[in-house]
Amino acid sequence: MYYYLFDSVASDKKYESLMNRIDFRLIELGLNGRMDKLTILKNMRELIEAAIKRGAETVVIAGDDESITKAVSILAPYNVTLGIIPIGSNQRIARALGIPDGEAACDILSKRVVKSIDLGKVNDQYFLFSLDIPAQAVTVECDGHYQISVLGLPRPFSICNFQPESRSTSSNPEDGILEAVIDDEQSRGMFRKLRTGGATVLPLKRAKIQCATASIPLMLDGHTVVKTPATVEVAPKKLRIIVGKERQF
């Protein structure tokens, strides 16, 4: 049973025609299901959890990167499959998963190529791409065996599960490994380009992050904040997700 949750961006008038085409295509493909729209009165977590209680086995998020990563964290504990219909301008997740824009995404849902991918878990939250640590004097203890620290001035770094634009061969959400990444670039975002000449890349499965002086905020996938001390670990094959042929893994 399918459940469709349309982000508030889908309510924009400029997407009206696209929304009609998507509706029509889903009916043509026989992928009918209950549909809800997010508004300021409707909370994503409540809607998704209610749908799962009613028996939804596939939850399709129609929206952009932010709504998708929020949904990932909500869906992770449940045995459901995530589908995506990209709507809006920030669509790097859909690109990485090989999902095209517009009604063509409905065909990907219909083909139903499902992959079980790893997630990162920090305290009780999940992330799909990365946990960002600000430029503070932190120590990161990895796998209980060694510690990483930055020489000289503190520098921001990340614990990454999947980096679709990275040249690292470990950038694979199916390998059961996270990577501690410290690079030289000043501007940072959810997706950074690594220059292997200057970047540190350390594979790990579990890490403890602590700051000696204070509790500092860590950012999950660019939108959710957790505080130190934090324990990050890989959750192997945690999320089932419908992907396209052009995916980057």
Distance of CA 60 to the CA centre of its chain: 14
Q: Can you tell me whether residue 189 is helix, strand or coil?
A: coil
Contact range with another protein by CB under 8 A, out of 18-26, 199-207, 209-217, 237-245: 199-207
Work out how close the CB of 139 gets to another protein at its nearest, in angstroms, rounded to a whole number.
9
Work out how close the CB of 157 gets to another protein at its nearest, in angstroms, rounded to a whole number.
9
Least Cα distance to 98 among 82, 113, 88 occurs for 113
Nearer to another protein (CB atom), residue 20 or residue 147: 147
Nearer to another protein (CB atom), residue 65 or residue 183: 183
Query: Which residue in the set 113, 114, 135, 148 belongs to the binding site for another protein (CB under 8 A)?
Result: 148
Q: Which of residues 202-221 bind another protein (CB under 8 A)?
A: 202-203
Phi, then psi, of 6 in degrees rounded to 5: -95, 125
Least Cα distance to 217 among 146, 123, 144, 77 occurs for 123
Total site size for another protein, rule CB under 8 A: 23
- Is 148:142 a contact under the CB 8 Å cutoff? yes
Contact range with another protein by CB under 8 A, out of 13-21, 91-99, 144-152, 227-235: 144-152
- Positive or negative, the CA dihedral 102, 107, 108, 114 is positive
**Alpha carbons 212 and 202: distance in angstroms, whole number:** 22
Please give the full DSSP string across 67-133, using - where no structure is assigned. HHHHHHHHHTTSS-EEEEEE-SS--HHHHHHTPPSTTHHHHHHHHTEEEEEEEEEETTEEESSEEEE
Nearer to another protein (CB atom), residue 30 or residue 152: 152
Query: Which residue in the set 20, 43, 147, 215 belongs to the binding site for another protein (CB under 8 A)?
Result: 147
Query: Which residue in the set 151, 212, 214, 225 belongs to the binding site for another protein (CB under 8 A)?
Result: 151
Site string for another protein, 175-194 (x = CB under 8 A): -------xxx----------
198 binds another protein (CB under 8 A): yes
**Alpha carbons 173 and 109: distance in angstroms, whole number:** 20
Work out how close the CB of 152 gets to another protein at its nearest, in angstroms, rounded to a whole number.
6
Q: Which of residues 156-175 bind another protein (CB under 8 A)?
A: 167-170
Nearer to another protein (CB atom), residue 53 or residue 145: 145
**Alpha carbons 17 and 176: distance in angstroms, whole number:** 41
- Interaction site with another protein (CB under 8 A): 145-152, 155, 167-170, 182-184, 196, 198-203
